[in-house]
């Protein structure tokens, strides 16, 4: 329902967090668009999501809508395609025989591995060994 409303606004649902903090329920919705997200888009999305949640009688105290930010998490294959060539930080499982944190250029992926270039060297990290991939821009 939320994703449908966002699609009507030509926005992509990146992630949803639903958390209880100090007895209050926070619903955080992260949106994006290839051309980027501005404040007006976040406001439109907020209104559409609020309307949808109220129709479905989903409880929440606070609704926050924002872009995923500079260090966004890359979860979907669509993200990996879109951000191929970008600098990323990969955190791996403790059972992974290589480094626990890898920073390099995302080159691509297949059904089993994520390929990154680190200091001119190619690393293929098994997808099932990755706990999180984030953009890691140089600032």
- Per CATH, the homologous superfamily of domain 2-66 is RimP-like superfamily, N-terminal (3.30.300.70)
Beta bridge partners of 66: 30
pTM: 0.80
Q: Which pLDDT score, from 0 to 100, does residue 98 have?
A: 87
The structural domains of the chain, with segments of one domain joined by +, span 2-66, 77-135
Please enumerate, as own/partner, the contacts of 115-121 that have beta carbons within 8 Å and a separation of 24 or more: 116/88, 116/90
Q: Distance between CA 19 and CA 99 in Å, rounded?
A: 31
Torsion sign, CA atoms 53, 59, 62, 65: negative
User: Domain 77-135 belongs to what topology?
Assistant: SH3 type barrels. (2.30.30)
Quickly state the pLDDT bin for 31 (edges 50, 70, 90): very high
pLDDT tens string 105-134:
999 999 999 999 999 999 999 999 999 999
Using only C-alpha atoms, the chain has a radius of gyration, in whole angstroms, of 17
């Amino acid at each position: 329902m939320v994703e449908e409303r966002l699609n009507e606004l030509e926005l992509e649902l990146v992630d949803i967090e639903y958390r209880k903090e100090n007895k209050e329920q926070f619903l955080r919705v992260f949106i994006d668009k290839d051309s980027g997200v501005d404040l007006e888009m976040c406001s439109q999305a907020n209104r559409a999501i609020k309307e949808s949640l109220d129709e479905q009688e989903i409880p929440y105290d606070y609704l926050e809508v924002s872009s995923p930010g500079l260090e966004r998490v890359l979860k979907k294959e669509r993200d990996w395609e879109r951000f191929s060539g970008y600098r990323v930080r990969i955190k791996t499982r403790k059972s992974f025989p290589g480094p626990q944190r890898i920073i390099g250029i995302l080159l691509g992926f297949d059904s089993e591995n994520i390929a990154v270039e680190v200091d001119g060297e190619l690393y293929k990290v098994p997808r099932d060994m990755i706990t999180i991939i984030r953009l890691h821009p140089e600032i």
